[in-house]
Amino acid sequence: MPEEPVPDDRRLAVDLFDETWALLETPDRTPEQDERMIHVAHGSRLHWEAVGTAENVAVGDWLCSRVYSVLGRPEAAMFHARWCLDRADAEPLPLWVRAEAREAVARAFAIQGDPDQARRYAHEARALSDSIEDADDCDVVRADLATLPLD
């Protein structure tokens, strides 16, 4: 059973997410930075589980999946992408989260070497993005889709 959350859990979740993203954007990361990126992504996800909403936890799984995709670890990427997708579809989460869940699955399939499945999930994500009302959320989803390693 998880411990009672402490007031700093929310701040830690955000800070660790931001650190993960900074590492993702770091050119020529070292192996040590890659290892840290894995740990801070999981740390963010863990803290969101303690104090966040289903949306926060789904995004935490999306982040873990992105990290593993970037590192070329398809099994772990798919594991977290599926968790994100399952949560996004089981809960009444915003369309952008549902679209990003599909983007994560598409990315995991792409690095697994299954372009047909990757395209299928990318298509589903694009279709959902067409209905996202907030322009900033829509732009984020479409920017992520644009970086999918597809032909």
pLDDT in tens, 16-73: 999 999 999 999 999 999 999 999 999 999 999 999 999 999 999 999 999 999 999 9
Number of domains in the chain: 1
Q: How many of the other CB atoms lie within 10 Å of CB of 53?
A: 11
Taking 90 as the threshold, does the pLDDT of residue 151 lie above it? no
1 found inside a domain = no
Average pLDDT over residues 96-108: 98
- To the nearest whole percent, how much of the chain has pLDDT over 70? 95
Is residue 151 domain-resident?
no
pLDDT at 4: 63
Predicted TM-score (pTM) of the model is 0.93
Read off the CATH number of the domain in which 121 is found: 1.25.40.10
Range of the domain at 91: 8-146
Phi/psi class of residue 86: alpha, beta or left (left: φ > 0; alpha: ψ in -120 to 50)?
Answer: alpha
In a domain? residue 110: yes
